[in-house]
Structures are given as structure tokens and as C-alpha cells.
């Protein structure tokens, strides 16, 4: 009897610990995951809701945390799936307005050139399909390795290299078009 009670107590303790762990992960990655989801879906309110949804999924799957080798990649995988599923569900990525005011919350010290440069980069990024935008963001903006990008997107490393190569060429073309406007 005592053993059973001890097991239950230990289980409860583990659950709490994992919950606390997810809480810590949320505080650590909250802003970055929001920005990532926002750049995938292009809408601030939606991104906030999807970020919550993603972390709720992380919380619900917290029992798997001890087995997860790369927690950051795992969180981004859940966030990516949440965002992609939402995009698929609503097919909004084709006509969603891009809120330029939200895109570049730069300080007053930033020059007009910097703001313009950032806007151009954001616009060129937006021109890419989410399938290509996600790996480019993860690799170049968040500093993921190819292996981490593969883990975050749930695809093989070869596919990541292929997508990155295409994404870079698409980005180059889109940036040149945006610059000419």
C-alpha cells in the first residue's frame, strides 16, 4: 500500500516537474515562437492564438519531454505544424494582408534606410511559400543547423538542403523585384 502511494506521489511529482519545465520553455521561447508563427501566417492576432495553441500542445505532450533530445526543435516542430495546419484549414495565406506596421517595430534611432531595408526583406520573405519560408527563417534567422531544421519541419536533411537552395533563389528574385518597385 505504501509503495503504491509512493508511486502515485512520484508520478504526481514528475507531472508537476514536467509542467514546470514546459512553463520554463514557454517563457524562454514565447517571443521567438510568436515571431516565427507570425511570419508564417502574417497576422498578429492569429499568431498570438496559434502560439497559445502550440504551447498547449507542448503541455499536453509533456510526458514525451524526457525523450526529446532537442527541445527547441521540438517546440518549433509543434509550432510549425500548428501554423501549417491553420493555413491549410483556412487557406488565408494567399490573400492575408501583411501588416507593415507590425512587421518592423524598430526604435526611433533606426534610420529610414534601415526601416526600408527591413521592410524589403520582410516583403521578399512574404513572397515565398510557407513551405520555403519556414526553413529559410529557421536556418538564417534563428540559426538552426540543417539537422535542427529537419527536426523542426519533420523532413529529411536532404529535403532541407533542397528547400533551402530553392528558397534562397526565390528570395533573391523576390528581393530584386521588391527593390525595383
Partner 1 sequence: MKRHGEVVGLLAVYRNLDPASRALVDQHVLECPACAARQTAYAQMDQALAGLVDPRPGAALPRSLDGILHGRSSRWVPARPVPQQVRVAPKVLVAAAVLALIVVSFWIVLRVLPPTGPVLAETPSVTPTSTSLAAALTPPSAVAPDAASSAARHLASIPTPIATRGLAPLVVVAAMP
Residues engaged in binding partner 1 (CB under 8 A): 19, 22-23, 26-27, 30-32, 34-35, 38, 44-53, 55-56, 59, 86, 89-90, 102-106, 117-118, 121-122, 125, 136-137, 139-141, 143, 145-146, 160-162, 164-165, 168, 171-172, 175
Residues 6+ apart with CB under 8 A from 121: 175
Name the residue nearer to partner 1 (CB basis): 52 or 70: 52
Q: Rounded to the nearest whole angstrom, what is the least distance from the CB of residue 110 to partner 1 in the complex?
A: 8
* DSSP type of residue 137: I
Q: Determine the Cα–Cα distance for residues 131 and 103; give it in Å rounded to an integer.
A: 20
Q: Cα–Cα distances in Å, from 41 out to 1, 18, 82, 148?
A: 53, 29, 10, 21
Residue carrying C-alpha cell 507542448: 58
Q: Rounded to the nearest whole angstrom, what is the least distance from the CB of residue 16 to partner 1 in the complex?
A: 13
Q: Which of 61, 46, 71, 73 has its CA nearest to residue 138?
A: 73
Q: Rounded to the nearest whole angstrom, what is the least distance from the CB of residue 3 to partner 1 in the complex?
A: 31
Name the residue nearer to partner 1 (CB basis): 14 or 85: 85
Q: Rounded to the nearest whole angstrom, what is the least distance from the CB of residue 139 to partner 1 in the complex?
A: 7
Amino acid at each position: 500500500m505504501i509503495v503504491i502511494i509512493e508511486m502515485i506521489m512520484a508520478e504526481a511529482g514528475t507531472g508537476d516537474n514536467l509542467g514546470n519545465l514546459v512553463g520554463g520553455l514557454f517563457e524562454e521561447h514565447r517571443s521567438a515562437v510568436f515571431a516565427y508563427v507570425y511570419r508564417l501566417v502574417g497576422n498578429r492576432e492569429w499568431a498570438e492564438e496559434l502560439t497559445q495553441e502550440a504551447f498547449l500542445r507542448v503541455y499536453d505532450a509533456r510526458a514525451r519531454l524526457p525523450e526529446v533530445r532537442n527541445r527547441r526543435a521540438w517546440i518549433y516542430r509543434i509550432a510549425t505544424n500548428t501554423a501549417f495546419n491553420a493555413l491549410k484549414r483556412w487557406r488565408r495565406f494567399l490573400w492575408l494582408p501583411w501588416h507593415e506596421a507590425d512587421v518592423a517595430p524598430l526604435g526611433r534611432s533606426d534610420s529610414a534606410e534601415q526601416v526600408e531595408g527591413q521592410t524589403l526583406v520582410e516583403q521578399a520573405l512574404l513572397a515565398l511559400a510557407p513551405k520555403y519560408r519556414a526553413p529559410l527563417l529557421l536556418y538564417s534567422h534563428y540559426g538552426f543547423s540543417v539537422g535542427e531544421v529537419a527536426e523542426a519541419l519533420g523532413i529529411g536533411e536532404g529535403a532541407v538542403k533542397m528547400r533551402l537552395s530553392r528558397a534562397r533563389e526565390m528570395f533573391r528574385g523576390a528581393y530584386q523585384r521588391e527593390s525595383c518597385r
